[in-house]
Amino acid sequence: MTTAEMASDKTKKKFKFPTAFTILVLITFVIAILTRVIPAGRYDYNEDGQPIPGTYHAVEANPQYWREAIAAPINGMYGIQAADGTISIYNSGDLYGAIDVALFILLIGGFLGVTMKTGAIDAGINSVVKKLGQRGRTLITVLMIIFAAGGTSYGMAEESLAFYPLIIAAMIALGYDALSAVAVIMLGAGIGTIGSTINPFSTGIASGIAGIPLAEGIVYRIIILIAGAAIGIWYVMRYAGKVQKDPSKSAVADMKEENEKHFLGGRESGEAPELTGKHKLILTLFLLSFVAMIVGVIPWSDLGITAIATRWWWFGELSILFMVMGVVIGFVSGMGEEGTVNAFIDGCRDMMGVALVVAVARGISVIMTNGLIIDTVLYWCQTALAGLTSVAFINTIFLLYIPLSFLIPSSSGLATVTMPVMAPLASFAGVPTHLVVTAYQSASGLVNLITPTFAVVTGGLAIGRISFAVWWKWVAGLVLLLALLIMVVLSIGALVGV
């Protein structure tokens, strides 16, 4: 190898895709520059906060500069408009801030941190693996349903990494391969996230910014969840069955002996905790927390249901719920005051990046709003999509979100950046706003099954010793099937119009 080739190889190895923070900061500065290029304009808005078609008009420009770009994340957290061009965070304004969303993210992180610290979730998964024994097909089905439940309820992601060694070992012992095990976890949780029903980190944030209840459009998301999980289970079982019958059919057949030694020989006995009565109680409290969330956020009165009181809970009330339940679970587990507090803080720390990325992303909306170009962009999108049928419109939105999801892998950041523009487009096209939310979360979840910028994919494949080339080739067919499913459901929703 020549010196030039060595230098080139070294450069390639050093390259690393920027983090979501860097991407969002760069976008902030680009948007600030664009406020000096894009004409300023405004719509008239109705009392529900929706733009009135045909009312767009030009206004005096208010370009944003580097000072406003630097202050944007802080203004995004507080929800402050500095329309006079200053950078003071004390100027009043009515832009929806990210502080309540960020606080909620931190507190639910604390709740998850305490629950994970108890070992109850680990013990529950371990118990399922042991009880199903040699029933491999049943094991695949049950585990994928469990992980899908985690994905649809709270966007299970990084937490799933803890289960890879256990489940890979169990699957290899049953005659499958490491790829089958990785697929069970990654696709289970991933498809659950694609069909997020009450996921506060994607559906919740996007619905809040779009100004609609979390439960609106949940029927379509349930359809995507159930149908997607069924397709995913079939896809994995078909492959796993071939490998069990003929190990040479494995996509990682060349690593069979090495993987058996690595995953079966290196695993210590008793590594996973046993499921105790206390663990069962903790899991019950964990599930009840999400049941309470569902009951609190659904507008029962709008559905004609009077037996259940509509509580109109949102981020403030949900923050209190998960903070209290985190403390309750901590004390039930026997952690005590210090242990509970430490576990809660550790969980909050794990979510700090997510909370901050929402603020940074919200800063982009601040720049666009203060620069008076957000309505202009909305007008251009309206013009570009004019004439499209409702079906073509919603599928175009879904397809637009695919490259956006690659650019901004953080689902929370993506929702915060794009919903202020995308959600109002629905009213122009005569499409329910909740379908735009569904299109966003489905595209984001789909991309996060394959993107190397998502730590869960990178980490899961690394634990399973699967290369990206192998994973992409294997999962490509499933991704296309899921994309087709999503587009069919979105099309039905657009035709029904409810």
pLDDT 10s digits, 90-109: 333 344 567 877 888 789 88
Mean pLDDT of the chain: 82
Q: Is the pLDDT of residue 413 over 90?
A: no
User: Which pLDDT does position 27 carry in this prediction?
Assistant: 84
> Which of residues 340 and 125 earns the better pLDDT score?
340
User: Which pLDDT does position 86 carry in this prediction?
Assistant: 40
Confidence of residue 290 (pLDDT cuts 50, 70, 90): confident
Distances in whole angstroms, Cα of residue 103 to Cα of each of 109, 117, 355, 391: 10, 21, 7, 37
pLDDT tens, 123-153? 887 787 777 766 778 889 999 999 999 888 8
Mean pLDDT value across residues 332-356:
89
Contact 198, 214 (CB under 8 A): yes
Contact 329, 285 (CB under 8 A): yes
Contacts of 375 (CB under 8 A, 6+ apart): 41, 42, 43, 51, 56
DSSP string, 426-466: HHHHT--HHHHHHHHHHHHHHHTTT-TTSHHHHHHHHHHT-
Q: Is the pLDDT of residue 162 over 80?
A: no
Task: Choose among 188, 78, 81: nearest CA to 139.
Answer: 188
Mean pLDDT value across residues 327-339:
93
At 8, list the tokens.
């080139």
Q: Is the pLDDT of residue 258 over 70?
A: yes
The rounded distance, in Å, linking the Cα atoms of 448 and 187 is: 10
Task: Choose among 290, 291, 298: nearest CA to 314.
Answer: 298
Length of the chain: 498
User: Which pLDDT does position 453 carry in this prediction?
Assistant: 59
Q: Is the pLDDT of residue 273 over 50?
A: yes
Q: Is the pLDDT of residue 194 over 70?
A: yes
Helix (H, G, I), strand (E, B) or coil at 65: coil
pTM for this predicted structure: 0.69
pLDDT tens, 207-246? 888 888 888 899 999 999 999 999 999 999 999 999 989 9
User: Which pLDDT does position 431 carry in this prediction?
Assistant: 92
Task: Choose among 187, 189, 183: nearest CA to 240.
Answer: 183
Helix (H, G, I), strand (E, B) or coil at 264: helix
Q: Is the pLDDT of residue 89 over 50?
A: no
Element of type H or E holding 41: strand 41-42
Contacts of 311 (CB under 8 A, 6+ apart): 295, 296, 297, 317
Distances in whole angstroms, Cα of residue 150 to Cα of each of 160, 197, 226, 301, 372: 9, 11, 14, 28, 40
